[in-house]
Structure formats: C-alpha cells, structure tokens
Amino acid sequence: MTVYTMAHIDVHDEEEYARYAELAGPAVKQYGGVFLARGGETVVMEGQARSRNVIIQWPDMDTAKAFYNGPEYQRALSHGLPAAKRDYLFVEGV
C-alpha cells in the first residue's frame, strides 16, 4: 500500500537546513521516494501550519521506514533536526 510522508517544518537555521536538503533529496530518490510537494504556497483553512510543507510518496511503509532509519537520511537529519522544528509522519494511502 502506498505511504506518504507528511512533513511540516519551521526552519530557524537556513544554512544548516540547506545542508540537510542537499543530503535528504538524494536519499529520498535512492529509496524510491517521489516528492509530491516540497515547499510552495500553503493556504491554511483550519488550524495552524508551519512555514514549509513536504509530501513524499513511498511504495510501502517498510520502504518509508527503511529510508528514515537508513544511514543516508540519518546523516541528513544530523543537520536538519537542530535547524528546524518539525512534525514528520508517515500516512498510509487509500
């Protein structure tokens, strides 16, 4: 079943987060992920939102988890986590 990453991000260190993005993008591709939304305009209709939103499509939950826990993405996270406040989750599709 298809799985989606939904990430909501507020960046407070642009330089360090740029390094995260340089590493995360290739890791997503390596694990078969496809960016469906990456930044872009966000219109909040209800609730609160963060300044940046990302949606990534994965073939299945096992692949999404393998990506997140893999050394490539963990290396990226060493730059991303200190540089931003994030909500990052996986959601099964329908």
Structure confidence by residue, pLDDT tens digits, 32-58: 999 999 988 899 899 988 999 999 999
Give the sign of the dihedral formed by CA 36, CA 71, CA 62, CA 82.
negative
Q: Domains in the chain and their CATH numbers?
A: 3-41+50-92 (3.30.70.100)
Contact status, residue 61 vs residue 6, Cβ threshold 8 Å? no
> Which pair of structure tokens corresponds to residue 31?
């694990």
Give the sign of the dihedral formed by CA 30, CA 90, CA 9, CA 11.
negative
Q: How much is the pLDDT for 49?
A: 86
Q: Name the residue with tokens 């909501």.
A: 8
In terms of Cα–Cα distance, which of 6, 27, 17 is closest to 85?
17
* Mean pLDDT, the chain, integer: 96
